[in-house]
Amino acid sequence: MQLAHTKKKPGVIKIALVGNPNSGRTTIFNNFTGFRRPVGNYPGVTVKKEEGEFIVDGVRVKVVDLPGTYSLTAYSQDELVVRRYILEEKPDVLVNVLNANNLERSLYLATQLMELDIPLVLALNMSDEAKTRGIEIDLGKLSELIGIPIVPTVGHKGEGMRELLSQAIKVAYKSREQKRITVNYGRDIEDELENLRQLIQREGSSTNTYSSRWLVVKLLENDQDIIAKIRDEKILSAAGEAARRLENLLGERPEIIMAERRYGFISGACQEAVKTTVETRHKMSDKVDDVVMNDALGIPILLLVMYAIFYLTFTLGEGPQRAIEYLFGRLAVFVSSFWPVGAVSPLKSLLVEGIIGGVGGVVVFLPYILLLFLGIALLEDTGYTARAAFIMDRLMHKIGLHGKSFIPLLVGFGCSVPAIIATRTLESRRDRLVTMLIIPLMSCGGRFPIYAMIIPAFFATRWQAPVLWMIYLTGIILAIISAHLLGKTLFKELSEAFVMELPPYRIPTAKSILFHMWQPAWLFLRKAGTVIFGASIILWVLAAFPHKREFETDYTTARFEAIKSFKSGLDTLGARLGLSSAGREMLGVYLAEGRDDPGLLNSGYETDIDHEASVIAEFLRAVDELEKGGELKATGGSGDPAARHEANAKAGDLSSVASFYLEEVKYPLKKNLAQIDRLRQNEQLSYSMTGRIGRALENVLKPLGFDWKISTALIGGLAAKELFIAQMGIIYAVEESEQGKHSLKENIRSDYSPLAAVCIMLFLLIGTPCVATLVVIRKESGSWGWAFLQWGGLTAMAYLVTLVVYQLGSFLGIGIG
Amino acid sequence: MAELSSEEVKPLSLIKPGKNVRLVSITGGRFLQSRLVSMGLLQGTPIEVVKNRGNGPVIVSVKGSRLVLGRGMAQKILVN
């Protein structure tokens, strides 16, 4: 059995899914592949490719989900991607997913697909909805009239999938025999098409890749993409002349007539095969829309919805966020445990502080990101997004954008990376670029820890939420101004083509919401895993080298001293427990190694020490209890009151010894060692590349109210905003999660004025977009030029704004206390 | 060819909600035309205006589905 289009081995069938947006194509794709597929990129083109492979009835099948399009012209990026995929990758069969509820429009794409030489199958999706709407379709007749097999499906219920697949496979194998019906464009046009076809056959050049029918149709339609590909002057001029002749004859450009004929064909077929029994409109949807898109209510409702989403994101996300923080903390401890306690090693530092610290700092935000995207996915799947675009359109027009830019900007509040990718729905390149450029001004999730750290440090509780809100608002206002400016300078004409389908409201399936939530979240994670991972390493290198050999303070001695005092504390402890020297040694071994797990105690010594071992074990248990925050209970409940009393006394004793240990011996050691570590780090940092750069920048950033510490930390923020705090922690040699005295918050409070704090937040809000953003802009815009322009522009803006705020504030004496 | 009928030809943007009209022609470049055509809007197509506030986008019902058209677009679509 030969496969139609492939010279590759039979047994792998490539199926491409095409169809209008909102036709349920992706749902069908998910049904086929069960959500197992990587997200990749087409080489050279910036639209995502979804692929999945699996085996069905012994046949290996590869399914590709192509972007949704209404047509195959050369006017939009999506269309070009679809047609290029079809022409270059040559799938074995095309499955065109149609929305049964707007069959006539949906078939428009099919009429064009029919002209390609690739086997075609139609999936009549959402057929359940159509039935309830009273649309009755005679599939057999319709199929006969248009010459293509049709399979009814209900994607979101998973119905018809098997049949669709087997039909597709069948068609792939039988293609040569498939009767080809194509739209008849009328005698005049058909004559010209035939002339052109013969000409091409004579010329024979690079046209073999294309089906001849499709090729001549496109030539006559003046398709720019095809014209660019066919270099043959003879053919091109013949086509041009044919078009002119037809225009004179018919009074209209050929492509218009051809479009009409396509619809005529469709209409003819549908008249025979489709009966609408009840004239139902989008009744329910309409009612909702009356409220939602109401002049007066529209925007307030939208604001309410957005507020609800953000609120839920921040409140529900907190718990999981702490959990992840905890996990990464454990991971750091675990990795550290491979080195003896207190060891200083570059590798350990790289792994723990560099990678776990860096990547962990970002991944910790996954809950927020997921929740935000969940909210947005909910809006999308119910169909509200289209309404939002409609409502916002007027306002967005005033700044030179379309309502469609609204959703990407909203996504930007989670993370810029998926937001920039979301701009793919904008058809005009100009709109896309402007939107992409201002997305970083939507304060992203990465900046949030900065605000969470700084705001409570400087502002009383009742001011905290308003200040946060103002920061976000500033970002939005600056975005508006920027869009306006960009519109006036670099991107003059606003594209006119705002057409969008308004799907009826729909109750989304859990599957599709999860899928839509997971997609952008995955991009965020991937960014963390790649860009931030790499950046963390680089940052670590910058902070670790040059390596300081001789320190101001002798840390080794300091550490030694700390351990010495620990040891003497242990001695006291041993005495209080009544241990012999051998017993104390055993105790020391367990405690000094940081292993206070009573279970590790192994008896099997001589009797004397055996008794001491049990004392030690009890002691360790007591310590364990106290550390867990519990109170000591007497072990063993014998009925004898005297024995119990003795047991209680013993427990009380033990408890006081245990707390002595913890408070006077263990914690101080830990604290001291940690402090020594950090002070050493601090010195190392000043000495390193990072520290030097930071100091070099100090003069530049002084007018903004920043000192070298801030400028050093900003370097961390270059990689990812999330890393700014981590760097600050290192600089201040304080662990940021520590509460109470000497926490990072306290340190910042004492070092900077509220004005400077606000300036820090402003600068980070506006400027130096993270590396990941830079990379994605380059990918989506196609050039580094835009990426650097954005970076430079935003940073310059940040500098300017912060400068003005700081200088003005200082001058007026606001917030410098 | 556009038929000359006794009714006036107006831009879609001026049609009140609830009215049913027919598309006569589209004044605009190829991109615009092609875009609209692929969404089902071509000469002779019946259009029902669902929402039209007088400014901002216009919502219409065409071939069984709802479309939102930007104001600029709606001004370029001539109907009667």
Q: Per-residue b/e over A58-81, b at no fewer than 16 CB within 10 Å?
A: ebebbbbbbbbbbbbbbbbbbbbb
Residue A5 in domain: no
Chain A residues 717-776 within an 8 A CB cutoff of chain B: none
Instruction: Say how far apart CA A69 and CA A78 lie, in whole Å.
Output: 7
| Last residue of one domain, picked from the residues A647, A681, A715 | A681
CB contact under 8 A, B40 and A108: yes
Q: Is A44 helix (H, G, I), strand (E, B) or coil?
A: coil
**Does one domain contain both A601 and A587?**
yes
Q: Tell me what the pLDDT averaged over chain A comes to.
A: 78
Mutate to test the interface with A, among B50, B66, B71, B75 (most CBs of A within 10 A): B66
Burial of B4 (0-12, 13-18, 19+ CB in 10 A): exposed
* Contact call for residues A130 and A137 (beta carbons, < 8 A): yes
Alpha helices in A67-138 (DSSP H): 77-84, 103-113, 127-133
**Does one domain contain both A88 and A235?**
no
Residue A595 in domain: yes
Enumerate residues 6+ apart whose C-beta is below 8 A from A683.
A548, A551, A552, A553
> Alpha carbon of A103 to those of A20, A127, A159, A257, A371: distances in Å?
11, 10, 19, 21, 36
pLDDT of residue A7: 40
Q: How confident is the model at residue A294 (pLDDT cuts 50, 70, 90)?
A: confident
pLDDT of residue A603: 46
| Cis peptide leading into residue A449 (ω within 30°) | no
Q: What is the mean pLDDT of residues A416-432?
A: 80
Q: How confident is the model at residue A41 (pLDDT cuts 50, 70, 90)?
A: very low
Q: How confident is the model at residue A561 (pLDDT cuts 50, 70, 90)?
A: confident
Q: What is the mean pLDDT of residues A747-775?
A: 85
Q: What is the mean pLDDT of residues A466-486?
A: 89
Which residues face A793 on adjacent strands? Answer: none
Q: What is the mean pLDDT of residues A64-77?
A: 84
Q: What is the mean pLDDT of residues A421-443?
A: 85
Length of chain A: 817
Closest CA in chain B for residue A402 = B70
Q: What is the mean pLDDT of residues A685-697?
A: 80
For chain A, percent of residues with pLDDT exceeding 70? 82
Lowest mean pLDDT among A550-564, A797-811, B39-53: A550-564
For B32-71, write each residue's pLDDT tens digit.
888 888 888 888 889 999 888 877 788 898 877 888 888 8
Which among A57-66, A487-496, A648-657 has the top mean pLDDT?
A: A57-66
CB contact under 8 A, A386 and B68: yes
**Does one domain contain both A588 and A532?**
no
Q: What is the mean pLDDT of residues A318-342?
A: 79
Residue A447 in domain: no
pLDDT of residue A61: 85
DSSP state of A468: H
Lowest mean pLDDT among A76-80, A611-615, B19-23: A611-615
Residue A471 in domain: no
Structural tokens at position A56: 């069905």
**Does one domain contain both A667 and A756?**
no
For A436-453, write each residue's pLDDT tens digit.
999 999 988 778 878 888
pLDDT of residue A654: 73
* Domains defined for chain B, CATH in brackets: 10-79 (2.30.30.90)
Name residue A439's amino acid: I
pLDDT of residue A11: 66
Alpha helices in A88-232 (DSSP H): 103-113, 127-133, 139-146, 161-174, 187-203, 212-220, 224-229
Lowest mean pLDDT among A195-209, A300-314, A761-775: A195-209
Q: How confident is the model at residue A734 (pLDDT cuts 50, 70, 90)?
A: very low
pLDDT of residue A2: 36
pLDDT of residue A382: 83
Instruction: Say how far apart CA A560 and CA A237 lie, in whole Å.
Output: 89
Alpha helices in A688-814 (DSSP H): 689-701, 708-719, 722-731, 744-751, 754-766, 771-781, 784-812
Is residue A267's pLDDT more than 80? yes
pLDDT of residue A94: 93
Instruction: Say how far apart CA A434 and CA A444 lie, in whole Å.
Output: 18
**Does one domain contain both A726 and A673?**
no
Residue A711 in domain: yes
**Does one domain contain both A673 and A768?**
no
Alpha helices in A459-532 (DSSP H): 461-488, 510-527
Is residue A428's pLDDT more than 50? yes
Edge to edge, what strands does the sheet with A12-19 contain?
A39-41, A48-56, A59-65, A12-19, A93-99, A120-125, A150-152
Question: A723 is in which domain, residue-wise?
Answer: 518-548+682-812
Higher pLDDT, residue A341 or A734: A341
Is residue A597's pLDDT more than 60? no
Q: How confident is the model at residue A629 (pLDDT cuts 50, 70, 90)?
A: low
pLDDT of residue A47: 38
* Contact call for residues A530 and A537 (beta carbons, < 8 A): no
Q: Are strands A93-99 and A120-125 parallel, antiparallel or unpaired?
A: parallel
| Last residue of one domain, picked from the residues A254, A276, A298 | A276
**Does one domain contain both A119 and A215?**
no
Full DSSP string of A674-724: HHHHHHHHHHHHHHSHHHHHHHHHHHHHGGGT--HHHHHHHHHHHH-THHH
Q: How confident is the model at residue A630 (pLDDT cuts 50, 70, 90)?
A: low
Length of chain B: 80
Residue of A157, A133, A149, A119 whose CA lies nearest to A24: A157
**Is B40 at the interface with chain A, CB within 8 A?**
yes
Task: Please calculate the CA angle A479-A726-A339 and round it to the nearest 5 degrees.
Answer: 150
Q: Is A146 helix (H, G, I), strand (E, B) or coil?
A: helix
Residue A476 in domain: no
CB contact under 8 A, A255 and B30: yes
Q: How confident is the model at residue A206 (pLDDT cuts 50, 70, 90)?
A: low
The CATH code of the domain that includes A56 is 3.40.50.300
User: To 10 degrees, the CA torsion angle through A410, A414, A417, A423?
Assistant: -10
For chain A, percent of residues with pLDDT exceeding 90? 9
Q: Which residues of B touch A389 (CB under 8 A)?
A: 68
**SS3 per residue for A203-235:** HCCHHHHCCHHHHHHHHHCCCHHHHHHCCCHHH
| Last residue of one domain, picked from the residues A276, A311, A341 | A276
Q: How confident is the model at residue A736 (pLDDT cuts 50, 70, 90)?
A: very low
**Does one domain contain both A118 and A134?**
yes
Q: Is A442 helix (H, G, I), strand (E, B) or coil?
A: coil
**Does one domain contain both A621 and A712?**
no
Is residue A195's pLDDT more than 70? yes
User: To 10 degrees, the CA torsion angle through A391, A397, A402, A406?
Assistant: -60
Min distance A169 CA to chain B CA atoms (Å): 29
CB contact under 8 A, A73 and B38: yes
**Does one domain contain both A216 and A148?**
no
Min distance B16 CA to chain A CA atoms (Å): 16
CB contact under 8 A, B32 and A263: no
**Does one domain contain both A104 and A244?**
no
Whole-prediction pTM value? 0.68
CB contact under 8 A, A101 and B65: yes
Min distance A286 CA to chain B CA atoms (Å): 9
Residue A73 in domain: yes
Name residue A154's amino acid: V
pLDDT of residue A4: 42
**Is A502 at the interface with chain B, CB within 8 A?**
yes
What total number of domains does chain A contain? 4
Instruction: Say how far apart CA A206 and CA A87 lie, in whole Å.
Output: 13
Is residue A216's pLDDT more than 80? yes
Chain A residues 673-702 within an 8 A CB cutoff of chain B: none
pLDDT of residue A635: 46
CB contact under 8 A, A499 and B50: no
Residue A39 in domain: yes
**Does one domain contain both A592 and A643?**
yes
Structural tokens at position A119: 């086997």
Q: How confident is the model at residue A110 (pLDDT cuts 50, 70, 90)?
A: very high
**Is B65 at the interface with chain A, CB within 8 A?**
yes
The helix (H) or strand (E) run that includes residue B49 is strand B46-52
CA atoms within 13 A on the CB side of A216: 18
For A112-123, write each residue's pLDDT tens digit.
998 888 889 999
What own/partner pairs with CB < 8 Å and gap ≥ 24 does A679-683 have?
A679/A553, A679/A555, A679/A733, A680/A344, A680/A551, A680/A553, A680/A555, A681/A730, A681/A733, A682/A730, A682/A731, A682/A732, A682/A733, A683/A548, A683/A551, A683/A552, A683/A553
pLDDT of residue A604: 44
For A499-516, write each residue's pLDDT tens digit.
777 877 877 777 777 877
Is residue A562's pLDDT more than 60? yes
Structural tokens at position A681: 């780090």
CB contact under 8 A, A394 and B56: yes
Q: What is the mean pLDDT of residues A255-281?
A: 78
Q: Tell me what the pLDDT averaged over chain B comes to.
A: 82
Q: What is the mean pLDDT of residues A411-424?
A: 84
> Alpha carbon of A174 to those of A152, A177, A405, A475: distances in Å?
21, 6, 45, 58
The CATH code of the domain that includes A259 is 1.10.287.1770
Enumerate residues 6+ apart whose C-beta is below 8 A from A808.
none
Is residue A278's pLDDT more than 60? no
Is residue A211's pLDDT more than 60? yes
Higher pLDDT, residue A507 or A794: A794
